Amino acid sequence: MFAINFQNWRSCLSITRSSLLLVSVLVLPPLVGVQLSVALQVTGLYSQQVRVSNESNAERTRAFHEALAAVIVKVTGDRDALQHPTIERALDNARNYVEAMSYDSVSIAVDTSTTAATAVEPGPEPGVVSFSASLPDTIEQRYIDVDFSTKLIDELLAGANIPVWDSNRPSVLIWMVLQNENGERSLLTADSNPEIIQMMQDFALVRGLPIIFPVLDFEDRQNLSADILWALDETTIGNASARYGADSVLSGRLHVTASSELVGLWQFIFQQQAETFYGFDTDLQSYLHAPLERITAELAGFFAIVPEFSNQQSVRLRIEGIKNLTAYSALLGYVGNLGLVESVTMAGLDGERLELDLGLLGDAQQLFELIALDRDLLPIESSLNVDQAFLHYRWTR
């Protein structure tokens, strides 16, 4: 196996302690065995950590502005939301939406291999300098952690008629094959090109996108070779991806030319539909972030809803398999946590069958797609009638 050296494109990357915590939620480790579903409840959507140089009012105001902009992008999945006049005004008064804040600091290693290891100081006489002890090998970086009010942010977006992407988000399985200038191909692994993995994880962290990388064990390599992945064979990729149970699959191929250009092709499979698009750049991070930006916008556009009462629709939800009070309580908790559901009313109870009337901030089709991200409710196909706002499921938890 070979490794392409992307040192020329590598930018300075840093992850703070809180960022590492969020990455552990958003970017799953490789999964072994069959996974029924890996849609994730993304945390931290209304919080953001920002670097600061000091604790002055001016620096804090700047940090609030930057943090709110990041939260708006995470919550909506759409960078264009920042251009809305209502959002622009809110950014100028970001402190009005802050619920809590705290300062933190971390020690960052300093690379002294290319700099002098001693510090220059004024000498005892004018014009004379002396050399002190070695420079420190770490520096303290200050951060501010900002938590915004969920209620105020949602009201802000509703007033601007901007859709909100629920925290229960579809997972994306990422396959990638690399080809060097000699035509040699290899599947992307964390060992061969960790900078690619890191850059994709950084994007996932910033945008609240759950991504998964395959374990690439014997079964994976038997099911999907580098050459087949290079061909972007939709059927073979789909079969190889089945064991991970991801809600969507992004596959990419990357060729590095002799002139250091990055040329490739991407394929995104979602809802049994595949789309293919080209990639070209001279910067590695830009090359990798472009397809992630594209699919994030697509997924957000599919699942995000405008939290407006004018769009409210009612749907009857019939659930089989409610055998005891524990199941009843768990079901109500599950339904109540669906971001699309505004209200829940008991409509009937007959043995193990429960019927609920749900008030939605959206429509029945959106609710159907949102529930499909989990496996707690199994649809009873013969009784589903989305057009008539009637959904029939079996409780499986």
- Residue located via tokens 């946590």: 337
The answer to whether the beta carbons of residues 252 and 232 sit under 8 Å apart is no
Say which DSSP state 20 is in: H
With CA atoms as reference, report the closest residue to 171 among 238, 101, 248. Answer: 248
The answer to whether the beta carbons of residues 180 and 4 sit under 8 Å apart is yes
- Residue located via tokens 């480790």: 29
pTM for the complete prediction?
0.68
Handedness of CA 7, 13, 15, 19 (dihedral sign): negative
By DSSP bridging, strand 27-28 and strand 211-212 are parallel
Number of H helices, E strands in the chain: 11, 19
Phi, psi torsion values for 129, nearest 5 degrees: -120, 155
In Å, how far are 24, 72, 160 from 84, measured between CA atoms? Answer: 32, 11, 8
Phi, psi torsion values for 347, nearest 5 degrees: -110, -25
Region of 164 (left: φ > 0; alpha: ψ -120 to 50; beta: rest) is: beta
In degrees, rounded to 5, the angle at the alpha carbon of residue 205 between the alpha carbons of residues 219 and 281 is 80
What domains can you pick out in the chain, each with its CATH number?
Answer: 41-109+143-168 (no CATH), 169-303 (3.40.50), 309-395 (3.30.70)
Per-run averaged pLDDT (10 residues), the chain, 397 residues: 44 31 38 48 92 92 96 94 93 91 83 52 50 65 92 89 90 94 90 93 94 94 95 95 93 91 95 92 94 95 74 80 87 83 82 86 80 84 66 88
What residue type is 317 in one-letter code? L
